Amino acid sequence: MSSKPTAHDSGLQRLLDEGYEVQVCQQHLLVHGVPYVASDRTVKRGTIVCKFIENAGVVLPPKPPEDTHQVWWTGEYPCFADGKLISQIENEHERKELLKGCTIQHRFSNKPVGVANFANHYDKVVHYVTLLQDQAKVIDSTVDARTSQLVMTEEGTSVFQYDDTASARAEIVMTSARLGLGKVAIIGIGGTGSYVLDQVAKTPVTEIHLFDGDEFLQHNAFRAPGAATREQIAHRMPKVVYFKRMYGAMHRGIVDHPYFLDESNVAELIGFDFVFVCVDRGKARAMICRHLQAQGIPFVDVGMNLLLISSTLKLVGSCRATLCTAQQSDHLAQFVPMDGEDDDVLYRQDIQVADMNALNAQLAVIRWKQHCGFYQDDFHAHNLTFAVNSLSLARDVLASPKT
């Protein structure tokens, strides 16, 4: 698990100085070795876990909305010295893996009379430690949570430049971990591919490889996330370099490939865990998709089909996201155009369709997240088509649920 240094404080240094066995992992504070009384009146030890949310390197105090006065507990439900349950701290009971290697069983809710919120994490932790430990000391006066044992943690292992506080606040750290693939490729970093990157860069994928041979020019700025400066546009840097610099501020593992894929180098995709195909030319799409199919690499292909109605000067059309896996791939010929060199020519010229590019990317990313088990997937559709003029979404090719 990724961890953070102690300098961020919010009472952390004081806990260490007093000898508590503390650890910070994935925006959570763990206090190990806390003595408590089990139902059979024996003294055991467990771990108190609470959120430890930071903002720009500074840990926020345990106050709503970032946090509350509640904590999780890994041990059995604690008792008074006489074996009766400490019902005053009871909140909920659920055994689950909160963090990798950290399974909690209960959540406690308690605070001193007259205290609305704890001022810092030291006060919060010591409050709960005292409630549990005092009962254990009645049975064994020598027990103490201040073991002075140092918990070794690994620094710099996160794929992010700063920790994912959103998953910690939402209590979905383990769900988000399902997106932690080794290598993901985005082929084509244009209007749709750049929005795919915008979303994937916020996930714990280890490496995100960008493939595109084009330069980042002024028209690209109007259908890409963020706001490019005049100087950046004038520099005419490769698209993959521009977006690597932008999203490298958040994600450490972005790799740029400033060239197009063709028959001579498509084998570079071997070994990838997932691929987003965001190209706008049928022959290139066909070559890439066939290679991925042959290798059994799962991928999503995206595309847009917009038409300007001359009588109304309005755009109509759709965007599509098609999932292909080793188990389901015979639908590609039905939904994915793989011939001709002028596919999607309108959206490559019209700068006023960034919303459709973004939506196309979101459909692709959501389907990827369903494939990884992040989102619930009730229909297992392998093709999604959104029509802008009717604001409707069609699902096709319903596959059996994965076992």
Orientation of helix 239-247 relative to helix 191-200, angle to 10°: 30
| CA distance linking residue 231 with residue 254, whole number of Å | 23
Domain-embedded: residue 392: yes
Q: Residue 115 gets which letter from DSSP? A: -
Which DSSP symbol is given to 60? P
Whether 11 and 138 map to the same domain: the answer is: yes
Cα–Cα distance measured from residue 274 to residue 271, given in angstroms and rounded to the nearest whole number? 9
What confidence score (pLDDT) does residue 47 get? 97
Provide the sign of the torsion angle of the four alpha carbons 100, 120, 55, 358, taken in this order. positive
> Is 148 a member of any domain?
yes
Q: Which two tokens stand for residue 84?
A: 């009766």
Residue 403 lies in a domain: no
Residues of the chain with pLDDT under 70: 1-8, 152-157, 340-352, 399-403
Residue 349 lies in a domain: yes
- In 3D, which of 394, 277, 376, 391 has the Cα closest to residue 336? 277
Tell me, what amino acid is at 270? I
What pLDDT is attached to residue 288?
A: 97
Distance CA 238, CA 240 (A): 5
Tell whether 274 and 152 lie within a shared domain: no
- Co-location of 212 and 132 in the same domain: no
- Same domain assignment for residues 368 and 312: yes
Instruction: Give the domain CATH number at 309.
Output: 3.40.50.720
SS3 of residue 265 by DSSP: coil
Query: Could you tell me if 204 and 157 are in contact, meaning their C-beta atoms sit under 8 angstroms apart?
Result: no
Of 132, 160, 188, the position where a domain reaches its end is: 160
Same domain, 129 and 191: no
Using one digit for the tens of pLDDT, what is the confidence trace for 212-266? 999 999 999 999 999 999 999 999 999 999 999 999 999 999 999 999 999 999 9
Do β-strands 183-187 and 207-211 pair in parallel, antiparallel, or remain unpaired? Answer: parallel
Question: In this structure, are 243 and 111 located in the same domain?
Answer: no
Instruction: Match 């771990």 to its residue by tokens.
Output: 47
- The pLDDT, as a whole number, for residue 7 is 45
Residue 91 falls inside a structural domain? yes
pTM of the shown model: 0.82
Whether 136 and 201 map to the same domain: the answer is no
Q: What pLDDT is stored for residue 353 in this prediction?
A: 86
One domain, residues 92 and 203: no
Residue in this structure with the two tokens 């791939």, named with its chain if needed:
329
pLDDT at 345: 47
Is position 351 within any domain? yes
For residues 14 and 126, state if they share a domain: yes
Please indicate, yes or no, whether residues 215 and 186 belong to a single structural domain of this protein.
yes
Tell me if 166 is assigned to some domain.
no
Domain extent at residue 27: 6-160
283 and 152 share one domain: no
Helix, strand, coil distribution of the chain in percent, nearest 5:
30, 30, 45
Residue 175 lies in a domain: no
User: End of a domain among 115, 131, 160?
Assistant: 160
The residue from 96, 128, 160 where one domain ends is 160
Task: Judge contact between 205 and 158, C-beta under 8 A.
Answer: no
In a shared domain, residues 141 and 252: no
